[in-house]
Structures are given as structure tokens and as C-alpha cells.
Amino acid sequence: MTDPRILAERFPGDFVFGVATAAFQIEGATKADGRKASIWDAFSNMPGRVYGRHNGDVACDHYNRLEQDLDLIKALGVEAYRFSIAWPRIIPEGTGPVNEKGLDFYDRLVDGLKARGIKAFATLYHWDLPLMLAGDGGWTARQTVYAFQRYAKTTIARLGDRLDAVATFNEPWCSVWLSHLYGIHAPGERNMDAALHALHFTNLAHGLGVSAIRSERPNLAVGLVLNAHSIYPGSDSAEDEAAADRAFDFHNGVFFGPVFKGTYPERFFSALGHRMPKIEAGDMETIAQPLDWWGLNYYTPMRVSHDPSETAIFPATIDAPPVADTRTDIGWEVYAPALGDLIRKLNAVYTLPDCYITENGACDNTEVANGEVNDRMRLDYIVDHLGVTADLIGEGYPVRGYFAWSLMDNFEWAEGYRMRFGIVHVDYETQVRTVKKSGHWYGALARHFPKGNHRAG
């Protein structure tokens, strides 16, 4: 096992080590204190959508165990906590009355972090759209953009004075493609036209969210969290190379292009632009406002080959087989070099601000034995990816922090509770938390920071 002290020496003294969660995955209390249903509450309760019809009604009961969980974060020794705010707690119907009790909960959360000397990195949208908005079309409807703008302004007006950073959206790739094209996440659509509408309106909501945040707190660091894909061709054939380029446009460029260049990728737009909603005057300028930072969520590479079928539509790819032998317990290929390749490529294609690795981790379902969890596979995964992160900093890339996913085992979306990503084990029957071997190691690393202010780059 790598000595955390040795790895710590490879990072600048002001590098931020943190842990991350999301509201729907841990909070529970889905009907408490004025909260109303989200699309994930509905989706979870439909047969065949989520493993075992698991739902978020209790989850990790974080809503009722807030102080203990904040003490847990403090005890781990990390410097920052990335969490999401549940829109259905703040404006339960998406539009209409603001729910003060919902804001009160996040007041307690942020104040609790401040009292413990932990930085607060908030995310405004981590997929839990108020269900009432789905009746008006959800993310396929332009009016949802304005509902998000108001939600962002309301939330930042209340909490923004105590936040260290805020992101508008988490992984729009998931809430666009996975939710509206592949049907795996709520609302479970399998329709390219719906997905293309959700794409533009999500991008536009990000832009209006940035404006809303800055109107309330001009000096608050605002960013966007993207699960960019590190895409490799299945072979060195010209067809597969071209397929990988198209996949880059489809999976990365449709978000990075509008935000960092003010345009959708040309190949993508020429193939599918006619099926998108009307792009109104000013939309692209709104989307492309400069950001203070961006977050990368990375887990596994994407490998693609050309799809030769005549009915294939853009990006016209099929999955290519993995190259590395190691898989996590959710079946994802472990290939740490892809993290470095991805950040290098994105910085070559786009002019990007400071980066935080806002999620990285592994599904390792090792259970408690004799009061301990020896999750060696997860620990090896984190060590390898932190090594790549240190390499990037050494090359001059502005990577400023790393957030382990996740603080604790939780509701893993369509996989329910059967997949465990936490560095802290949760017994869902008793809600007992047990710090895993990876958690002890990560805490030992994090306690070396901050150590002076010798900034890299």
C-alpha cells in the first residue's frame, strides 16, 4: 500500500482534498418539512426502473443525522465537502412558494461545515427535478429553464454568503442522454428529439443559473461539473478513429462547446441540429459566460467502434471491448491513464479555467468483517488515480482539488442500494457508519493539507 505521506509530497500545499455526496442519494426524509416529490421519487416507484424497486425514502437518513455526518466528515480529516441541494426542498413544486424549512436545513448544513472549518462546495442540480415540472415537459420544455433560474437565485440569496464554490449542474450528460435517450435514469425517455431538447435547455439553464448566482454573489466561485468521457477508438482503423471523434462531439462537445466556445460541435449540429429546439437570440451568449472553475467526474474510459448499420444515426458508434483486465464491482473497466489523457485532450481543445476532480472512486462491495471493511480494490483505484492527478499537476495543468466519491455508501440511482461507492460503509438496517480501509487511508492523506501556500503552476 502506498504511504499517504509519500503521495502527499507530490501535491501542492494548498491542494484541496474533499469528499462528495448528492442530496437524493443520502438524505431520505422525502416527505418531511414540506418537500414534495422529484422525478426520481416517481421513477424509483415504477416497477422495473430501479433494482429491487429501491427508493430514496430513507437512504442514509442524512436529513435526520446531519450533525453526526458532519462530525464524520471532520473526523476523516478532509478539508472540503461537496454536496447537492434538493430543489424539491427549496421550491417543492418547481415554481410557486418557497419552502423556508428546506432552506433552513441547508442553513444548518452550511453553518455546520463552517463551524468545523470545512469548505462548502454546493451543487444546485443533481438530477432531482421537482415532479410537478415534469408535467410541463421537464427539461424538454423551455419554461423549466426559468424555473431553474429562480431556484438558483433563491438558493444563493440565502446560502451564498457562506459557500466556497457552487456548481450549477452535476453531469448533464446523465440528465440529458442517460435520462432522455437511453432511458436508464429518470424520467426514463428513449427519444432523440426529447434528449436534444433537454440538451439545449439544460445548457441554457446553466447559463441563466450562472447569471442568477452572480447577481446575488458576484465573488462566489461558480462552475459546472461534467462527467467528460475519455474516448478511445476500438482499433486504429480510420473508421474507428472517426467514430471516436464523433463520440467526442456527442458525449463531450455538446456541453464543452457551448459553455467554453459558444457553439455546438459542427459535426453534431450538421447531423442533428434540425431536430433541436429553436436556439433563440442570446441563448449561446448566455450559455458561454466565463466560469471560475469546472469539475470533472471520472470513473472509467469509453471505447467505441464504428457502427456500420445503415440505420445508425449520429454518433453512429457501438461499444468496443475493454482493454484493462480489472473491473470494479459495477463492471466498469479500471484504467487510470484515461484520466490524464482526458484532461490533456480537453485542455488542448478548449480554453478551460481551474479544474477540480469533483468525483472519482470505485464500486467495491466489500462488507464489514470483524468491525472493519478491507476494500483493497477501492483503495488501489484511488491511489492510482491520485497518482495520475499528481502527474497532471507536475505537467502544469491547473488541477486544484480532488473529491472522493463517495463519503458514504448510498442510493446508486438505477442500481439501488446494491452497489457501494462509499469510503464509509452504511448498514442500511441500522444506519451504522463504519469507516473503510480506503477511508482511513484517504483521511491520513488529507490531513497533510493545507500545508503552506506553495501553489503549483
Annotated active-site positions, please?
171, 359
Q: How far apart (Å, rounded) are the C-alpha atoms in residues 207 and 80? A: 25
**Residue 286, C-beta contacts closer than 8 angstroms, at least 6 positions apart:** 204, 207, 208, 211
Q: How far apart (Å, rounded) are the C-alpha atoms in residues 211 and 273? A: 26
**Residue 272, C-beta contacts closer than 8 angstroms, at least 6 positions apart:** 192, 196, 313, 314
Burial class (CB in 10 A: 0-12, 13-18, 19+), 219: exposed
Give the CA-trace dihedral at 285, 287, 289, 293, to 10 degrees: -160
CB atoms within 10 A of CB 215: 13
Closest by CA to 69, choosing from 123, 30, 42, 108, is: 108
Cis peptide before 398 (omega within 30 of 0): no
Closest by CA to 244, choosing from 357, 341, 350, is: 341
Asked if residues 17 and 165 have their Cβ atoms less than 8 Å apart, the reply is no
**Residue 131, C-beta contacts closer than 8 angstroms, at least 6 positions apart:** 36, 37, 38, 39, 41, 42, 88
- Say which DSSP state 320 is in: P
**Residue 191, C-beta contacts closer than 8 angstroms, at least 6 positions apart:** 180, 181
- For 338-355, letters b (16+ CB in 10 Å) and e give bbbebbeebbeeeebebb
Q: What is the CA radius of gyration of the chain?
A: 21
